[in-house]
Amino acid sequence: MALAAYRSILRATRLAFQGDASVLSAARMKARDDFDAQRSLDPDSEDAKKAVTHANDVAKFLRENVVQGQANDNGRYKLRIHEHTERGDNESIKQNKGNNTLSGVKCCSA
């Protein structure tokens, strides 16, 4: 259970930080340190189960929500979006279009 979570984090870091060796190394070192800190926990304890759940959540977040950007020559950034990147449909933003209010007052009104 813990080994699978650890391997999942390693795969997620490889996907999220591909091509950036220093960040990839730092992320893997952090994962290793955090798992080593929990090594003494009894595998059947509630704390161990919470730690494994947290590790799985971190791996999911890295896979779905972290996107790399690289600056182009023209000052723009090219994002590396992959098949696991979460993409929203922006429906909640479209529904509130025109209702940009702050404390019940339109944002641009005097």
Q: From the centroid of its chain, how far is CA 42?
A: 28
d(CA 63, CA 86): 8
* DSSP string computed for 61-100: HHHHH--EEEE-TTS-EEEE--TTS-----HHHHHTTT--
Q: Is the pLDDT of residue 100 over 70?
A: no
Span 51-69, mean pLDDT? 92
Span 69-93, mean pLDDT? 82
Lowest-pLDDT choice from 21-25, 34-38, 71-75: 71-75
Contacting residues for 88 by C-beta, under 8 A, at least 6 apart: none
By C-alpha distance, which of 1, 18, 14 is closest to 59?
14
Domain assignments of the chain as residue spans, ordered by start: 2-86
Residue 109 has a pLDDT of: 55
| Of residues 11 and 83, more confidently modeled | 11
Report DSSP state, residue 1.
-
Span 4-13, mean pLDDT? 96
